[in-house]
Each structure stands twice: as structure tokens, then as C-alpha cells.
Chains A and B, each alone.
Chain A
Amino acid sequence: MANSFQTATSTPAQDVTQSCWSCGAMRTAYFCKACGKVQPATPVDYFTFFGLPRKLNVDLAALEKDFYLLSRKLHPDVVAQGSRMEQEWSLQQSSLLNDAYRTLKDPVRRTEYLLRIEGVELEEQSKAASDKARNTGEAKKQIVPPDLLEEVFELNMQLEELRMQKKMGEDDPALLEEIGKEKLKLEEKHEAHLRDLKAYWGNWDTLIEREQHGDAVSPEERRQARDKMVDLLNRRNYVRNLVRDVNEALEQ
């Protein structure tokens, strides 16, 4: 167990204990090592697909290189002369490759994806908090901080007014200016969230590294590192939606 990570650290092709359908040799995730034939896609997560540990700091240059290399090798044209099965698998692998790359290269999608495969369901979280509030009679712990909710609410009121004015053909430069200012603030916040998120990646990655070195990581530690990111992404969702709504209202 303790040294299983050694095979999974750097090379993209992970060892999978399956034999090649064509020549019977042990195969890697996408190709047979011995005869080089494309293999059916194995249901692995995107990190495993690229032979990466579940860490959030990712070497994007290396990822990109792997991606291009694999896209060439997995391209359906390569097996144009092959069997229908090979063509099918090649297609499967290519689309898995594209999904994996698109998800992992984006910082937010990568984080959301990791949280999902780590078992975090946002909807569930909110429901669990409601159940708890109902059972204990205490106020529900809001996932989003009250001051942000206040801000969201106020801005929505202003946007509503703006839409109404536009409908009536009026315009109110003071309101527009205020909304514009608010929008700048939101955009700054949006960027700050991304910086904070990246800071949290470090926490998480340290846990994974400890595990790789055979150290035990308690579920509680894992949960804490996860929850910080969940919190932040929740807040970020609001800000993102708001920026979108502001832009829509201004363009109308």
C-alpha cells in the first residue's frame, strides 16, 4: 500500500493490472505496453487518467504537453485501418481525454471536480443544515455570510430599478454610476476569491503528500481542508451570478 504511489506520480500512463485484449501483455491505461494497441477506456477519475495524484496544484505546462501527446496518439485517425472496436475505443479515450483536460486545466473546475469525487454535494450540504436547524430549533447556519447576502439583495434591488427605468425609457445617471461602482467591487472580489482558493489548495495538497509518504490523515483533517474550499466556492457562485446579472441589466 505504502509505495503504491510511486507508480502514479509522474508518468501519464498508469499501470493498470489488466491485460491487453490483443496480445495479452500487461497494459497501461490507454495503450498496451507491448503491442501499442489502443485499449477500452477504464472508468477512472480525471486525475488518474493523467497519472496525477489528487492534488490541486497542477503543473499546467506538463499537463498540456501530455494532453497534446495523447491527443495525437489517441486520435481516431491512428486506428482508421483498425477494427471497429479499436476505432470505438479510440473515440472513447479521446473524448475522455478532452473532458479530463478541460476540467483539470481550469482552476475552479478542477477544484469543483476534486470536491465532487471527494464526495461533497453542495445541495446536500444546504439540506443537511436545514434539517439540523429544524431539529434543534436554532437558526440555520447560513452557508453564505450575512453581509454578502445583504449586498446581493441590495444590488438586486438596484438592478430591478434599473430595468424598470429602462422599460419606461428613463435613465438615471446616478443609479448607473452606483451600479457601475458596485460591479467593479464585485469583480475585485471575484478575483480575490480565486487567490484565496489557490491558497487553500496548498492545505489540501499537503494532506495528499503526507498520505503519499505513508502518514495517516484523519477524516477530520480532510473535511476541514475540503470545507474551506466549499465555502469559498459557494460565495464565489453568488458573486459570479451577480456579475452576470449586472452585465445583463446594463446591456439590455
Chain B
Amino acid sequence: MSYSDKVLDHYSNPRNVGSMDKSSADVGTGLVGAPECGDVMKLQIKVNRDTNVIEDAKFKTFGCGSAIASSSLATEWVKGKTVDEALSIKNMDIVKELSLPPVKIHCSVLAEDAIRAAIGDWKKKQQTAQPVTAEAK
């Protein structure tokens, strides 16, 4: 199977590979897997608490080229968006952008799941974190 140019570009030159401090209060971490193929993807976001804007995003994916490209693209897309805007990214947007063939759709699903999971983790942290800071004041 041949990958599209965009996939190859992200694959050979992935953006935003790396990791952030998982325990930091403004970092959300999503770790998701696709049992069909055994691939795993970790995506992290750093959110500005006042504006809810995602200021930074990192990923690390152990999986196929399409999964790497999808997660690389996902980090590019979420950066600069608010948390709610980022939630509107759909896997089919990724499929279109990267021209993924049908057998690779689950790889893009993984990226959408990862965004959602990272945001979910961040939101959970905000709920638990706020009362504490309020008390500290």
C-alpha cells in the first residue's frame, strides 16, 4: 500500500514528538490503543487556565505510519484552539487531510480518541484542582 505525500511528510518529519509532565495541573494526557493492531498513542496538551487555549501539544505513537501521521497532524491542529474547539475535530477530517484509505481509518480514530482523552484528563484535573487552590488563597 502506498502512503499519500502528506502521510509521508508527517511520518518522516513528525511534528511535536515528545512528552510533558504528566502530573502538572495544566497538562492533560490521553493514552489510547487500538486492539485491532496493538498500536498505542499518547497525546498531551498544555492548556492555559484563563483562556482555555491549548498552548502546546506533544505526542508519541508506537504504531503504523498512518497513526503517526494522524497524531502528528492532531497536535498541529489542536494548538491554538480552545479546548472546546479541539473537541470538534473528527477523525474524518484527519482522513480527508491525509487521504487515508479505508483500512487506515481506525488509525485516525485513534488520534481523535487521543485528543478527547487528553482533554478529558485535563478537565478532570481542573475539577479536582480548583477547590484546592480556592482553599489555599
| A237/B42 contact (C-beta < 8 A), A130-B109, A130-B113 known | no
Which of B33-41, B47-55, B68-76 lies at the interface with chain A?
B33-41
- Judging by beta carbons under 8 Å apart, are B113 and A122 in contact? no
A157 to B40, CA, bound (A): 11
- Judging by beta carbons under 8 Å apart, are B31 and A122 in contact? no
* Residue B77 at the chain A interface, CB threshold 8 Å: no
- Judging by beta carbons under 8 Å apart, are B32 and A149 in contact? yes
Interface of chain B, main secondary structure: mixed
* Residue B79 at the chain A interface, CB threshold 8 Å: no
Measured CB to CB, the nearest residue on chain A to B120 is A139
A133 to B109, CA, bound (A): 11
* Residue B6 at the chain A interface, CB threshold 8 Å: no
- Judging by beta carbons under 8 Å apart, are B32 and A142 in contact? yes
* Residue A241 at the chain B interface, CB threshold 8 Å: yes
> Distance in Å from the Cβ of B128 to the closest Cβ of chain A?
15
Contact for A126 among B31, B60, B109, B120, CB less than 8 A: B109
- Which residues of the other chain, B, contact A130 by a CB distance below 8 angstroms? 91, 109, 112-113
- Which residues of the other chain, A, contact B10 by a CB distance below 8 angstroms? none
A138 to B119, CA, bound (A): 10
**Interface size, chain B (Cβ < 8 Å):** 22
- Judging by beta carbons under 8 Å apart, are B31 and A146 in contact? yes
- Judging by beta carbons under 8 Å apart, are A133 and B35 in contact? no
A139 to B117, CA, bound (A): 6
- Judging by beta carbons under 8 Å apart, are B31 and A149 in contact? yes
- Which residues of the other chain, B, contact A242 by a CB distance below 8 angstroms? 38
* Residue B81 at the chain A interface, CB threshold 8 Å: no
A137 to B113, CA, bound (A): 11
| A127/B33 contact (C-beta < 8 A), A133-B113, A133-B116, A134-B90 known | no
* Residue B62 at the chain A interface, CB threshold 8 Å: yes
Measured CB to CB, the nearest residue on chain A to B42 is A153
Contact for B34 among A126, A134, A137, A160, CB less than 8 A: A126
* Residue A143 at the chain B interface, CB threshold 8 Å: yes
Measured CB to CB, the nearest residue on chain B to A143 is B35
**Interface size, chain A (Cβ < 8 Å):** 29
Contact for B87 among A123, A127, A137, A238, CB less than 8 A: A137
* Residue B106 at the chain A interface, CB threshold 8 Å: yes
Contact for B38 among A123, A160, A241, CB less than 8 A: A241
Measured CB to CB, the nearest residue on chain B to A145 is B33
- Judging by beta carbons under 8 Å apart, are B33 and A142 in contact? yes
A144 to B35, CA, bound (A): 7
Q: Which residues of B contact A (CB under 8 A)?
A: 31-38, 40, 42, 60, 62, 87, 90-91, 106, 109, 112-113, 116-117, 120
Q: Which residues of A contact B (CB under 8 A)?
A: 122-123, 126-127, 130, 133-134, 137-140, 142-144, 146, 149-150, 152-153, 156-157, 160, 234-235, 237-238, 240-242
Give 10 closest A-B pairs by Cβ, nearest first. A241-B38, A234-B35, A139-B120, A156-B62, A144-B33, A149-B33, A238-B38, A130-B109, A152-B40, A149-B31
* Selected A-B contacts with CB under 8 Å, 13 pairs: A123-B36, A126-B106, A130-B113, A133-B116, A134-B90, A140-B116, A142-B32, A142-B117, A143-B33, A149-B33, A153-B42, A156-B40, A157-B60
